[in-house]
Amino acid sequence: MCAGITLYDPLDYWGATKGKQMCIGIIGIGGLGTMGIKMAKAMGHRVVAISTSANKEALAKEKGADAFVVSTDPASMAAETNKMDLILNTISANHQLAHYIPLLRTNGTLVQLGLTTEPHNVSQISLLFQRKSIAGSLIGGIKNTEACLEFCAKHGITPDVQLIEAKEIDWAWDQLVTINKDGVRYVIDIKKSLENKEFCPAE
């Protein structure tokens, strides 16, 4: 629910559900990013996955990405410069979004979804000459959440999850703060966790 509406709402607001063909970039190929790829592809758009890790290419394309950009590789970035109408940025680690603005075409918008603690330094020049925009989005209201569920049901879109027990929380955290190579969302099985008397002894 969280990942779905977080990606569906900006896609809807910035026109991806209106039938017009777009090129959509998704930065960060984790639990949010993979949902964004699936949705944008099901909406009929060209989808470009963007990651610092070349190891995420196979995963991104498996989820529906048409192209893959390694953001640390200048040649890879240059191949998609000025091509994207919309970029959804799911990165929650500190970074500079100015690095990704050249990927936008005229009138393009980069939408911040991941929260970071460091300020971003952006030159006005990169925005002024091509009327590029930086925006933000959080989740969505009831109406769009219902629309998101209907859309996902229609296209068979589900998040990639891995059930874990509460005793594995530290392990799951380590996976998420490294690179989350499988792009999954970890879900705690409460019933099974409570059955583990060593981890959760009865009072």
Q: Does 134 score more than 60 pLDDT?
A: yes
Tens digit of each residue's pLDDT (9 = 90 or more) over 140-192: 899 999 999 999 999 999 988 889 998 899 988 888 777 666 677 888 988 88
Tens digit of each residue's pLDDT (9 = 90 or more) over 33-71: 999 999 999 999 999 999 998 999 999 999 999 999 999
Which string of DSSP letters, residue by residue, matches the chain? -HHHHHHHHHHHHTTTTSS---EEEEE--SHHHHHHHHHHHHTT-EEEEEES-GGGHHHHHHTT-SEEEETT-HHHHHTTTT-EEEEEE---SS--GGGTGGGEEEEEEEEE-S--SSPPP--THHHHTTT-EEEE-----HHHHHHHHHHHHHHT----EEEE-GGGHHHHHHHHHHT-TT--EEEE-HHHHHH-TTTS---
Q: In the prediction, which pLDDT does 180 show?
A: 65
Class of domain 2-155: alpha beta
Domain with CATH 3.40.50.720 in the chain: 2-155
Tens digit of each residue's pLDDT (9 = 90 or more) over 79-131: 999 999 999 999 988 899 999 999 999 999 999 999 888 899 998 988 999 99
C-beta atoms surrounding 17 within 10 Å: 16
Q: In the prediction, which pLDDT does 104 show?
A: 98
Burial class (CB in 10 A: 0-12, 13-18, 19+), 32: buried
Q: In the prediction, which pLDDT does 201 show?
A: 63
